[in-house]
Amino acid sequence: MTETTLAIANDIEARFPQCVTPDERGGYEGYLIEAGKLVEFATALRDEFGYDFLSSVTGVDYLPDEKMEVVYHTYRSTGGGAFVFKVQTPRQTPSVPSLCGIFPGAEFQEREAWDLLGIHFQGHPDLRRILMWEGFEGHPLRKDWKEAYYESDAKPFDSRWPVGEIYRAEDENPFKGNVVYPQGFDPDKWTPEGETALYAGMHEVETDEAMHTDQIVVNLGPQHPSTHGVFRMVATLDGETIVKLRPVMGYLHRNHEKIGERNTYLMNIPFTDRLDYLSSMTANWGYVQAVEKLLGPKTAAPERAEYIRVIMAEFTRISNHLMAIGALLNDLGAYFTPMLYALKERELILDIFEATAGSRMMCNYYRFGGLARDLPAGVYEKMRDLAFERLPRQIDELDRYLTENEVVIARCEGVGVLTPEEAIAYSAVGPVLRASGVPYDVRRADPYGIYERFDFDVAVRYHGDVYDRYLVRLDEIRQSIRILQQALDDLPEGEIMAGKPKYSMRVPAGEAYGRVEAPKGELGFYVVSDGSANPWRYHVRAPSFINLTALSKMCEGDKVADAVIILGSIDIVLGETDR
């Protein structure tokens, strides 16, 4: 904790005596708040102490202690480290006040904690399941919830190691016998209550129009070519104007976090590749960083590994933004020509990933304390050619083709506007936040790795519309090239791993939050260790998921055709949204 943070913490303790106490558990940080004072405390934290950005809301099930905990990570939008606070509640009837009225960005995260852990948030405006379906039995992230194919709490399973008598779980569970429904639930007579609740608030939204017209509710998706996967938008239309919109996700959900809590720590590294599968290197880094905090200084990565981590992360950012720009132009109706120009450069970056990590997309390259392997012969020269010669030239060409295009300007300027205040309130991150005039970038606001060594600018635009979100990504590609040029010039020789790689290890008990500036914004991993070889709690703060909280705000007042490009300008990947 810095001196500034410590001083603020002392002021907060004085402001809230008795109801705010330091978390004194070994390996833990932050403050425990009485549930009855939570709303008052959060309001003061935002208005009096400047922690106006609620980044992450995480539920944790402490089964042996018969309690649940909600963990909040807040930051100042001007930069600096986290202020962490927590609320504990009895496990049998877990209930805490909702913070949606203070931090609207908590809406989807609280719904997720209700859906997966059964924590009730008093006063939440729309507390429904968000990732599971209404006929699902129980809350799957609870530690005593067992799935139909349950074999053991933690991997490696005894049937695989050391005994090695493998069997298929399906063989032990006859077809149709692997589903558990809630008591009294008959799927043949099911009325989708969640859908009824969803549609209930979508009809007859009051408008300022002098002439009364009928409003209709339409669904865009989940099978729609412009929803970037199985994603759905339910919109109330007055003519062609959107007066209300709600995003619906979860169609791709596979309970990534439940599987992550069963895996060993090392097993989760390739599993993070499957989140934002267009940006696996940065997903590796965020998770590895969290576990390295738990392991302590002994796992600090060597200098060469730190430089290569930055190089791979910035190539990943360029690759992602090329894909995002190409896909946005597809959404605008340009079909595939701009996308092909973008994909051509992305393929050259994926060549580097394949040569180094062995895979183009699921890279599994970062390790606790370093990297899986060093750069093979010829890759460094290829990196220099891309960073110093080809990419600057090709990005300028893409800029010339697209930025002043009259169709791009007409369709994107003034569409999907999100003000700076709204962007902060809705916990927006990445290009979505910076296009609204908030120059917040984790690499500068709360540096990690060796980013403080590099000279680069935080890309920021000030209109908060689709056009500026496109421009910010173009600006960020150029800044990533600047970082790459410096990193490649300064890349030292040496080891790429601290110590000998281990298949499995016991991680000291405690908690850690590792966050990186992924291409889509702040990607965070909250990990709780109980001292074993498997995480007790493994939570992903997914920018694709949380950035969607502001989608309704961006779309209301625009045309139904604009909803497609507004969604495209957020740049989501459903593997990360649904997890």
pLDDT-derived band at 405, boundaries 50, 70, 90: very high
SS3 breakdown of the chain: % helix, strand, coil, rounded to 5? Answer: 40, 15, 40
Give the integer Cα–Cα distance in Å for 138 and 142.
9
pLDDT above 70: residue 498: yes
pLDDT above 70: residue 532: yes
pLDDT above 80: residue 202: no
The tens digit of pLDDT for each residue in 314-323 reads: 999 999 999 9
With H, G, I as helix, E, B as strand and everything else as coil, classify residue 413. Answer: coil
Looking at residue 251, its amino acid is Y
The tens digit of pLDDT for each residue in 229-248 reads: 889 989 899 888 999 999 99
Go through the domains of the chain in sequence order and give each one's CATH number.
3-122 (3.30.460.80), 256-578 (1.10.645.10)
Whether 122 contacts 89, CB under 8 Å:
no
pLDDT above 70: residue 176: no
pLDDT at position 394:
94
pLDDT-derived band at 5, boundaries 50, 70, 90: low
Which residue in 506, 82, 541, 452 sits closest to 294, CA to CA? 506
Which residue in 305, 458, 454, 291 sits closest to 375, CA to CA? 305
pLDDT-derived band at 2, boundaries 50, 70, 90: low
pLDDT at position 511:
95
Identify the residue with better confidence: 297 or 120: 120
pLDDT-derived band at 198, boundaries 50, 70, 90: confident
pLDDT at position 55:
95
pLDDT above 70: residue 209: no
pLDDT at position 201:
65
pLDDT at position 205:
66
CB atoms within 10 A of CB 495: 14
The tens digit of pLDDT for each residue in 68-100 reads: 999 999 999 999 889 999 999 999 999 999 999
Number of H helices, E strands in the chain: 21, 15
pLDDT above 90: residue 9: no
Q: What percent of the chain has pLDDT over 90?
A: 68
The tens digit of pLDDT for each residue in 459-471 reads: 999 999 999 999 9
The tens digit of pLDDT for each residue in 413-441 reads: 999 999 999 999 999 999 999 999 999 99
pLDDT-derived band at 189, boundaries 50, 70, 90: confident
Record the pTM.
0.91
pLDDT-derived band at 170, boundaries 50, 70, 90: low
* Six token digits for residue 282: 């940065």
pLDDT at position 223:
82
